[in-house]
Structure formats: structure tokens, C-alpha cells
Structure 1
Amino acid sequence: MTARSRHEDHRASTPLELFFDLCFVVAVAQAGARLVHALAEGHVGAGLAGYAAVFFAIWWAWMNFSWFASAYDTDDALYRVVTLIQITGVLILAAGVPRAFDDGDFTIGVIGYIVMRLALTSQWLRAAYSCRDPAERRVCLRYAAGLVLCQVGWVVMLFVPDSARVWLFPLLALAELSVPLFAERDHSTSWHPHHIAERYGLFTLIVLGETVSAATIAVQEALDEHDELGDLLPLAAGGLLIVFAAWWIYFAVPIHDHLTSNRQAFAWGYGHYVILASAAAIGAGMEVAIEQTVGKAHISANAGAAAVTVPTALFLLTVWLLHSRHFKRGTSQQLILPVSALAILACTFTGHTAVPLAGAVAALTVAIGWTLNRARPETEQAGSGTGPAA
């Protein structure tokens, strides 16, 4: 198993990677469903804390595989089998999401992680065995050791009191985030910028697709039970505009040219926790807003609206921070997304009209961004490589 070249032409995601991503839909859907239940019952603090913890486990499992595959995907029979074992671990993790969210019981989730970690550790050890460069071999061995040590920590967490678990979980999460920084502190793996950017983009598409699916099912169920089409149509329209705008804004600029070093790529990659978690939360928020509209949720109209507007604003702000600000020129372009995020937050206080208004603001954001981009000199547009920017 030798490293692939970072300068490889036409590097694209493989069918196996796409299959791996699709299996995460189950886990994302489970996390979103539990968040809906918590918010609809007014358990905001517990719901957000549980969602943050569970989504971290989902996102980090995907991260571990994706960055390894970008550097060492040989796509031979052994690699495929080991990846399928990792997929099995993902499905076990997904099965444990409800218990982890509702009761803080991570037993099944940890079992899923053990399956994934055994497979991924064997991949790093295989890569280390094949390395001719001592520096690269050290990186692979550090990754393998870091994965094992962190996994031991998660197993230990299962046996500590609940009061201690509250403090141990974030410490273990920080340890997980530190493994790549430690492993690649003096030598970088050969991850491929274009491939990594595409992998993140595809996973973002899958999460946005799950958001559309969750909102559509919620509208359908509400119609079947209450037949309140007049109240639900504006919600559905506003939700669609938000998701469409989220897609447009995320893919407005090609980010791979910005990923020129570990320092830039790791900050960008870690920041996607917020992008992906907020994108998935938009779908959950739409379900909450629909339940509030038909009287199923025991929360106020403003609280139901906040379930949509807060993650939408967070998504826009984080996309600007990680993506757009590197390509925008001038104060007016730089302010589009931050100002739009604040405007969408302000929509929260309009109650039942919040989601349609937020959708209109999101659509207007895209239109203004596109107009300002078109107004730039053609030479500047060509130099930046931007498309229909927002």
C-alpha cells in the first residue's frame, strides 16, 4: 500500500467512497430525529448537547476514513474488504445513536467505533509496512497508535460514573482531534486537495439531501394528520429556498486551490463539523417548525422558528469563514453572508412567518452575491476562478 501522489490528475471519489458516505445517511437521520424530539418537547439544552456529541462521533468516523483514503486508497481487494468492515461499524454506530442521545449510553456506539478502528488501524499499519520513507512510516505508526489509545479511552468511558462522563467526553474528543496534528507534525501525508474538497462537497450534498427528505416526510405526515395545507405551504417553500441557497452558497467557489498545506486544510476540515452539523440541523428544525405549526410541539412559535433560523445562520456564517471570504473582494462582498446570517436570526422573532422570511433572505443573498460577482471585472473573475458566487 503505497501513497498516492498529491499531484495526481483527475482524482475523483470512487464508488466505494460514495457507498461509504451513503451509509452515513442512516446515522445522520437518527441524530436528526432525536434532535427533533428533544426540541419539540422543549428540552433545548439536553437536545443540543446530545446532538453535538452524537454528531461528533458520526463526523469524526467519516473524517478518519476520508483523509486516509485520500492518501492511500489502493482500491485493491484487501482495501475494499477492510472498508466494508468499516461500513459495518458505521451501521452499528447508527444503531446506537438513539441510546446515546436519549440516555447517554454509548455502549453500542463504542462497539461500532471498535469495529471501525480495528479496520482503520490495520490500514495504517499496512501503509506503514509498505513505506520506504522513514518519515512517512512514522506518520502511519503515529496514526495507528493514536487511534488505539483514543479507542481505549472510549472503552474506559463506558465504566465511569455519569457525572464523570460529562467531563471525559470532551477530553476524549480533544484527544481525537489532536491525533492528526500529532501524527503529521513534521511530515504530511499525501492527501489530494481536489479529492478532499470533492469528498467534503459530496458529504455536504448527502446531508442537505437528508434535510430535504426529513422536511418532506414531516410535511407529508402533517398533511395526513391535520390537512392544514395553507399553513404548511409557506413553511415548505421557505425550507426549500433555504436548502437551495445553502447548496448554491457552499458550491459557489472552488476551494481546493486554497488547501495548500496541513495548516489550512486541517482548519478547513475541522470547521466542517459546524457546517455539516448545522446543515443536518436545518432539516430537524424544519420538522420542529412543522410540528409547532400543527400543534404537536409544546413550544412557542418563536422557538419553532429558531430551530430553523439558528442553524441556517450558523451554516452561512461558517461557510463564509471557511470558504467564501478567501475569494471575495471588497467590503460589500465580504459582508453579504455575515449580514444575511444576522437578518435570518432576526426573522426568528416574526413567529410563524419566520421560515418563509428566512427563505426569502437566503434567496436574496444568492441573488445579491451573483449580481456583485457579475459586476466585477472579467479579468478579476477569471483570476479568482469563481463561478456564480454568493
Structure 2
Amino acid sequence: MILHDFIHFPARDPKEGHRSATPLELMFDLASVIAIAAAAHGLAHAVEGAHSLQGIIGFLCSFFMIWLAWMNYTWFASAYDDDSTAFRILTMVIMFGALMLAAGINAVFANERIWLALLGFVVMRLGMAVFWLGAARAHLERRKTALRYAAGIVAMQVYWVALVVFVPPTAAMYLPLFIVGAAGELFVPVFAERHGTTGWHRHHMIERYGLLNIIVLGETFIAITAMIQINDGSAFPDPALLWLAVLSAVISFSLWGLYFTDEDHLSGDEMGHALLWGYGHFVLFAAGAATGAGMLVMLQVVDHSAHVELRVAVLATAIPIAVYVGTLWLIRDRLHLDGAWQWTLPVIAGTILLIGFAAPQMALELIAVLLVLTALVRRRLTLQQKEMSHD
């Protein structure tokens, strides 16, 4: 009876006013920051060491685990966060799992069995299962939905444990089976919400996703800071590295400007739209973090300490930038803009890719200018839409 009363999470009103991120959610994001930084560092190290394919696979696998746990917690908190002691304790348990995952990410890139990362991930996911059981107790209208969430999450953890225990990471079937597991995790919300959708708060979700976008773009700040650092006793940073830092900062600020426009990202609460927006951000977030990793590779190349040529470093930066811009169109602009302007971001994404492949010597300069112009144009389009809506 005590446990029943303790783990008991009633639904929140999805229409309540002035809903914003809580200090607990921000603390949760901080735990995710550590894991994201570990994944981005692993990608940069692999690419500059001429192991790009292995690094990309390791990055996507590790980032998926981080993002999935963050995403599930964020949507649940939007619907059921009652700021109770039980909610806080379970959140902190999941945070500790995130830190364990961060500590074990090196094994993902080294093609070793991911015991520590798996343990951290399972802790995070089982914590979510307990959350859903608490929601099932308190929210009888969505009891079946909550129980389906809990059952689906537990079933997937059995799958992950079996995969890591019985299939070595060097086996040919390991990656396909990992992809199957990822698909299974993504199917859990689809499976659960067939019996009634949970009442998440739209503006709260927009804020939460925006905050994580700032976090992933923060990986570019780590690279920029490293470029400016003075390590040889000089009185001033190396001019070439300082110029690289300026270009990287312009790119980072422009990506921020492209994402944060005045119109809402999530324009409705339909299940299909919410899934596309929520899941589509996995690609955008991964691309943002990978951009920071690419900038670190650029630093190593300019500093003559990498094992790859300039073209590889440029592509390691240009490709994720293009993916970021293209994904932003998919989840937002194609729904908010009309006419020819609707295709602005896909054209820009394609142009960035072309620059990366065709003009590596001047690529960052050209990409920086292009992104600044795009951010200014996109801002102007937003202002025009606001003016039209007020007429």
C-alpha cells in the first residue's frame, strides 16, 4: 500500500498555462550533456584517426541510446510530472544511468562488448517502466496505454541484454540486430498509444526540444574553445586556428538562428505529426553534435595532428551541417512555409554538400556566408508571416 501511494503519477493538464522546464528537467539535461559529449568526442577521435565508418556507426548507436532515454523521459514528464518525491528519485536514478552510459561509450567505438553502456541504458529504461506503472495506477483513463508502455520497455531491455550477451560486437549480424532493437524501441510508443494518447503539453515540448538543441550545438563551442586555446606559450592564438574558430562560431550561431524562429515547431497534437517531429529530431540532434565533432577534426587537420586530409575534415563538418538543415525543413519548414520559399532549406542543404565535395579549400568560408544569409532570409520570412497574421 505504501508503494502504491509512493509510485503514483497523476496526469497533468495539457492545456495549463505558463508551463516551462523545471530545475529537475534541466538537471536531467545536464546528465545527457555528459553522454552526448562522450559520443561526439568518440566520433571526432575515430574520424581524425582514419576510422570514419567505424566512428559513424559507433556515434549513431551511442547517440540513439542517449536520445531515446532523454526523449521518453521528456514526453512522460510533460504528461505526468507531479514534482513528487517519487518522481524526483526516479529521475535521479535515470540520471545516474545516463552517467553510466557516458562512462561506457568508449566500448561502443572500440567494438568491445558494451557492458557498462548497456547497464546504464537498462537502468534508464527500467526507470521509465516504473514511471509508466505509476502512471497506470494514477491515470485510470490511460491505464492500458501506460501498461503497454511499461511492458514494451521491459521487453526491449530483455532484447538488448540478449543481444550484448550472445552476439559479439564483431559479428556480422550485430549491427542489423542493433537496428532491429532500435526499431523496436521506436515502435513502443506507437504500440502503446493505440489505446489512447497521453496528454503532453505542446509548448512545454517545444521548449524542451529547443533546450536540447542548444546542448548539442554546445559541442561546437567545445571545438571553438579548443581552437582558440594557446598551448605553446605564445601570447596570441595561432592565426589559422583563430580564423577557423571565427568561421566555426559563425556557423554555430547561424544554425541556432535557423532553428529558433518565432513560429512553433510543433503545429498540432496529432499522433503522426508528433511522432515525425519527435523522432525527426534524433537526426537533427545527432547532426548538431556531429558538427561539433567535425569541427574538432578540422582543428586537428589545421594543427597537422590528424591522420586524414583536409577533404575528410571538411566533409565531416559539411555533411552533418547539411543534414541538420535538411532535417529542419522536414520537421518544420515544409509545414510552415508556402510557395518557392518552402524549398529554401533543401536547396541550402544540397549546396552545402556540393561545397564540401567540390571546394574543400574554401568550404568553411562559403558555408559560413551561406548560412548567415539563410538565417537572415529565414528571419525575414518569419517577420513577414507575423505581419500577415496581424492584418
Aligned counterpart, 1:24: 32
- What displacement does 1:230 show? 2.3
Between 1:144-153 and 1:334-343, the stretch displaced more is: 334-343
Q: Which letter does structure 1 place at the counterpart of 2:351?
A: A
SS at match of 2:12: coil
Q: Which letter does structure 2 place at the counterpart of 1:255?
A: D
Aligned counterpart, 2:70: 62
- What displacement does 1:159 show? 1.7
Aligned counterpart, 1:334: 342
Q: Which letter does structure 1 place at the counterpart of 2:379?
A: W
SS at match of 1:6: coil
Aligned counterpart, 1:103: 111
TM-score, normalised to structure 2's length?
0.92
Aligned counterpart, 2:210: 201
1:115 aligned to which of 116, 123, 148: 123
Contact 2:48 2:306 in 1 (8 A): yes
In the aligned structure 2, how far is the partner of 1:224 from the partner of 1:104? 39
Aligned residue runs from structure 1 range 1-390, under 5 A: 1-133=9-141, 136-162=142-168, 163=171, 164-220=173-229, 229-255=238-264, 258-331=267-340, 333-348=341-356, 349-374=358-383, 376=384, 379-382=387-390
- CA deviation map 1:262-318 (0-9, x unaligned): 111111100001100000011110010111112111212111111111111110110
Count of aligned residue pairs for this structure pair: 379
Q: Which letter does structure 2 place at the counterpart of 1:263?
A: G
In the aligned structure 2, how far is the partner of 1:4 from the partner of 1:346? 48
In the aligned structure 1, how far is the partner of 2:390 from the partner of 2:206? 20
Contact 1:316 1:337 in 2 (8 A): yes
Moved over 6 A (4+): 221-228
Contact 2:144 2:195 in 1 (8 A): no
Aligned counterpart, 1:388: none
SS at match of 1:10: coil
Q: Name the CA shift for 1:257/1:24 in 2 (closer, same or farther; >3 Å).
A: closer
Q: Which letter does structure 1 place at the counterpart of 2:330?
A: L
Q: Which letter does structure 2 place at the counterpart of 1:120?
A: M
Q: Name the CA shift for 1:360/1:121 in 2 (closer, same or farther; >3 Å).
A: same
Q: Percent of pairs identical after alignment?
A: 39
TM-score, normalised to structure 1's length?
0.92
In the aligned structure 1, how far is the partner of 2:16 from the partner of 2:310? 52
Q: Name the CA shift for 1:320/1:224 in 2 (closer, same or farther; >3 Å).
A: farther
Contact 1:94 1:109 in 2 (8 A): yes
Between 1:226-235 and 1:169-178, the stretch displaced more is: 226-235
- What displacement does 1:373 show? 4.7
Q: Name the CA shift for 1:340/1:3 in 2 (closer, same or farther; >3 Å).
A: same
Q: Which letter does structure 2 place at the counterpart of 1:57?
A: M
Q: Which letter does structure 2 place at the counterpart of 1:56?
A: F
Q: Name the CA shift for 1:340/1:91 in 2 (closer, same or farther; >3 Å).
A: same
- What displacement does 1:90 show? 0.6
SS at match of 2:104: helix
Contact 2:156 2:185 in 1 (8 A): yes
- What displacement does 1:358 show? 1.0
- CA deviation map 1:70-93 (0-9, x unaligned): 110010111111111111111001
In the aligned structure 1, how far is the partner of 2:101 from the partner of 2:278? 22
- CA deviation map 1:343-375 (0-9, x unaligned): 22222232232112211111111122334555x
Considering only aligned residues, what root-mean-square deviation do their CA atoms show, in Å? 2.0
Between 1:276-285 and 1:204-213, the stretch displaced more is: 204-213
